[in-house]
Structure 1
Amino acid sequence: MAMYLQNISQVGAGAEAAGFFASMTTMILVFGIIGIALYVYSAIVLMTIAKKTKTEPAWLAWIPIANLYLFGKIPKQENLGIALIVLSVLSIIPIIGALTGIASLVIMIYLWCKIAVIRGKPEWWGFLMIIPIVNLVIMGILAWSD
C-alpha cells in the first residue's frame, strides 16, 4: 500500500515539473522575442539618426558593441563611444560591473543629450532616456522628426 501511495505522489511531481518547464519555456520565448524586437527598433533608430546627421558608417548600428562606437560618433564624441565598449567588456568583472554600469549610464545620458541638440530638440530630452517606454518614444522622435 505504501508503495502505491509513493507512486501516486511521484506522478504529481512529474506533472508539476512539466508545467513549470512549459511556463519557463514560454516566458523565455516571450522575453526573447521582445528583446529581439527592441534590438531591431534601436538599430533602425540609430541608423536613421546616423544617416540624418551624415555619420558614416550607419550600418554599424546593426552590429553589437560596434553600435556603441557609432553612438559616440554621431555627436562627435568617438572617445566616449570607445569608453562605452571598454566599460561593456569590464562589466563582466564582479564588483567592477556595478561601477561600470553607473559610468555607462552617465555617458549614455550625456550622448543622448548631445544627439537631442543635434536633432534640434531640447538637451534635457537625454535625461528622459532612463524612463522605460518614454525612451522608445523619444528615440523615435529623434530619428523620424524633421
Structure 2
Amino acid sequence: MYDYYDTGSLAVFGILIVFGFIFAIAGYVLSSLFLMKIFEKAGVEGKWRAWVPVYNAMILAKLGDVSPWVMLGAIVINIIPILNYISWIAYVAVIVIVAWRVGLKLQKDAVWILLGLIPGIGALIWLGINAFDKSRWNPNIVPAPWANNGFLGDNTVWQGIPVQPKPAAPAPGYGAPQGYAPPAPQGYAPPAQPGYAPPA
C-alpha cells in the first residue's frame, strides 16, 4: 500500500526544524548580546533589558527617537496574517528610521543601514558593528523633526533609560512663526482745522 508521507521526507523535515530552531536561538542570543553593548554605550541601566524579546526593540526605538509604542504596534500588526505584506512594509520602515537615528548617535552614516537590509544575517551584522566598534554614544545629535509632535514622536519616560533631547523652540526673527498681536486701541482724534478749538 502507498504511504502518503514517506518516512525519509519526514526525517529530513524534522532535521530542518531542529536546525532552524538552533539557528533561531543562536540569532536571538547574538542579537541580545549586541543590543546589550549598544544599550551600555547609550547609558541604559540594566543589562537584562536587552534579553526581553519585544521590550528590547521598544528600547532601541526609544533610543532612535521613535515612540516605543509605534514599534510595539509595528511588531503586533506584523503578526496578523491577513495584513502580513502591508504590515511588513510598515515594520521595515520603522526599523530603518530607528537604525538611521541610532546610527547617527553612534557616528555612522546612513549608508550603514543597508547592511541591516541584507536578508537573514544583515541585522546581526549591523548590530555587531555598532556594538563592538570604537564609536561612542552622542546624545547631542540634532533631534529628529518628529521628536516634539507627530505620530512617531517619543514622549515616554522610563526609569533607567536616558531621555533624548528635544528640539529647541525656534528663535524669533525673520521666517520664524510669530503670534499676531492686534494694534493697541486708540481714541478718535478729529482732524485739525485752523481756528477751531474743541469745546471745553
User: In which range does the TM-score fall when normalised by the shorter chain?
Assistant: 0.7 to 0.9
8 A contact 2:65–2:101 mirrored in 1: no
Give the deviation of 1:97 after TM superposition: 2.7
How much has 1:58 moved relative to structure 2?
4.0
Count, aligned residues = 133
Matched, 1:121 2:80: no
Aligned partner letter, 1:65: V
Which secondary structure does the structure 2 equivalent of 1:127 belong to? helix
Q: Is 1:97 aligned to 2:84, yes or no?
A: yes
Q: 1:141 aligns with which of 116, 129, 147?
A: 129
What is the CA–CA distance in structure 2 between the aligned matches of 1:50 and 1:110, rounded to whole Å? 18
8 Å CA contact 2:38–2:130 kept in 1: the answer is yes
Counting aligned pairs with the same residue, the percent is 28
1:63 to 34, 52, 61: 52
CA deviations on 1:82-141 (whole Å, 9 max, x unpaired) are: 212112222333432322210110110111111111111212212321113344322211
Distance 1:117 1:92 in 2: 29
Q: Is 2:58–2:69's contact at 8 Å kept on the other side of the alignment?
A: yes
> Out of 5, 18, 38, which is 2:7 matched to?
18
The C-alpha deviation readout for 1:7-47, integer Å capped at 9, x for no partner, is xx45xx48x62211111110000011001101111111111
Of the structure 1 ranges 17-26 and 119-128, higher mean CA displacement relative to structure 2 is found in 119-128
**Cα 1:56–1:99, aligned 2, differ >3 Å: closer, same or farther?**
farther
Are residue 38 (structure 1) and residue 27 (structure 2) matched?
Answer: yes
Q: Paired residue for 1:75?
A: 64
Q: Say if 2:63 and 2:102, in contact at 8 Å, map to a contact too.
A: yes
Tell me the TM-score normalised to structure 2 length: 0.60
CA RMSD of aligned residues (A): 2.0
State the SS of the aligned residue for 1:65.
helix
TM-score, with structure 1 as normaliser: 0.80
Alignment of 1:131 with 2:101, yes or no, is: no
